[in-house]
Amino acid sequence: MDTIQIRGARTHNLKDINLDIPRDKLIVITGLSGSGKSSLAFDTIFAEGQRRYVQSLSTYARQFLSMMEKPDIDTIEGLSPAISIEQKTTSHNPRSTVGTITEIYDYLRLLYARAGTPRCPEHGTELQAQTISQMVDQVLALPEGSKLMLLAPVIRDRKGEHLNLFTDFKQQGFLRVRVDGAVYELDETPVLDAKKKHTIEVVVDRFKVRPDIQTRLAESFETALKLANELATVAWMDADENGETPPDLVFSARFACPLCGYNLPELEPRLFSFNNPAGACPECEGIGHNHFFDPQRVVSNTHLSLAGGAIRGWDRRNAYYFSIIQSLAKHYDFDIETPYRELPDTIQHILLYGSGKEKIEFVTPGHRGRRSKKRTHAFEGVLHTMERRYRETESNLVRDELAKYMSVQPCPECHG
């Protein structure tokens, strides 16, 4: 039999219907609310199929199962044992994805943590962690007699004169330092330009490669790693046979990039979870998007003037914020009665994003009839003012009102 034959179905609001339904097909039952879809599918077909299946079981098995009521129907043939799957409503949790709901994401996190190779996002180099014994073995594998020095890179591409750093090195008993690639005695360090970036490495040890320096080298590596946040550099003191100095060897006691120092802890599944602070984007906290004050919502009607309400809350009805607009108009010489769309782009940008470092004299009304106040400071901009108020307020009413001017965008850091 290739059909389910229903005759005289009268369950609930079914009106004595006769129906043949193809077997082994995907069947969709549609209709208006109250037309009998559920009565046919669940209360007739499923109920009778389940009832017949339970009746076929032993008396012992039936005592553990509930018997469904027999539907009001004349005959139904071609019916197999039936199951009914509970409907799941769509999750509105922004942290739920197909991967998390199906738990596939858990297996992916485990795969990346156990089989993944960490790399620097800036340079693409593989991040490798080494023990001190591995570092020593790598150095001792170099040609015997090579003249080397072990450095601790304490400053990498940072601006400043770093005078206190040199003094600290001398107090700790070090004699030499390499600054921007050149080696100096600590008593003869150059005056650094505070506006330029510098790399400063303290010379921890100088040695020739020999098999008997293993213990000494291990102690020197330990000192260098403590000074430079688990990083150490081995530099050649002599040129090779071609007259060129070989590149430095960089070592790390943790997963770190030898070029920029970017580092990671030991790989764990939580590092790959956007629902865990260890793996979530710090900007959007793993949500994938953020809310921002949308200029098109803040300035909803560009045909209006600033005085007429182009920016709601900053017009004549709000004395404090309107006085700020008046002070800006006086400073930048524009008319607050001019439609917003006709204002110069520079003025529109200042209104929304602020005056930068340029200071402006603001005259704001005093509280409860008191004298006006004069203050000189930079203007933070309408958007930044709204962001600050939204962040600092404890009032839900204020938050709800400000939220009307916000839109959603993919996170600019992780791109969603």
Q: Could you report the per-residue pLDDT of 305-329, keeping only the tens digit for each?
A: 898 889 888 888 888 888 898 999 8
Tokens of residue 147, six digits: 């003249």
Residue 314 exposed, middle or buried by CB count within 10 Å (0-12, 13-18, 19+) = buried
Specify which of 3-7, 52-56, 244-248 reaches the highest per-range mean pLDDT.
3-7
Closest CA to 299 of 347, 350, 348: 348
Closest CA to 286 of 119, 109, 94, 116: 94
Question: Which amino acid makes up residue 91?
Answer: S
**Residues 317-331 as b or e (16 or more Cβ within 10 Å = b):** eeeebbbbbbbbbeb
Q: Return d(Cα 379, Cα 385) in angstroms, integer.
A: 9
Residue 205, phi then psi, degrees to nearest 5: -160, 150
DSSP string, 162-215: -HHHHHHHHHTT--EEEETTEEEEGGGPPPPPTTSEEEEEEEEEEEE--GGGHH
293-410 topology per CATH: Helicase, Ruva Protein; domain 3 (1.10.8)
Which residues of the chain form CATH 1.10.8.280?
293-410
Instruction: Report the range of poorest mean pLDDT among 24-28, 95-99, 226-230, 274-278.
Output: 95-99
CA distances from 247 to 138, 238, 254, 333 (A): 15, 11, 21, 60
Tokens of residue 73, six digits: 């129907």
Which distant-in-sequence residues (6+ apart) come within 8 Å of 66 by Cβ? none
Percent of the chain surpassing pLDDT 70: 96
Strand partners, 291: 408
**Please, what sign has the CA dihedral across residues 138, 139, 140, 146?**
positive
Q: Helices 382-392 and 345-353 meet at what angle, rounded to 10?
A: 10
At residue 250 the predicted structure's pLDDT band, cuts being 50, 70 and 90, is confident
Looking at residue 89, its pLDDT comes to 63
CATH superfamily of 132-264: Ribosomal protein L1/L10, rRNA-binding domain (3.30.190.20)
Tokens of residue 119, six digits: 């790399």
More confident call, 125 vs 381: 381
Contact call for residues 162 and 247 (beta carbons, < 8 A): no
Which residues of the chain form CATH 3.30.190.20?
132-264
Q: Return d(Cα 56, Cα 62) in angstroms, integer.
A: 9
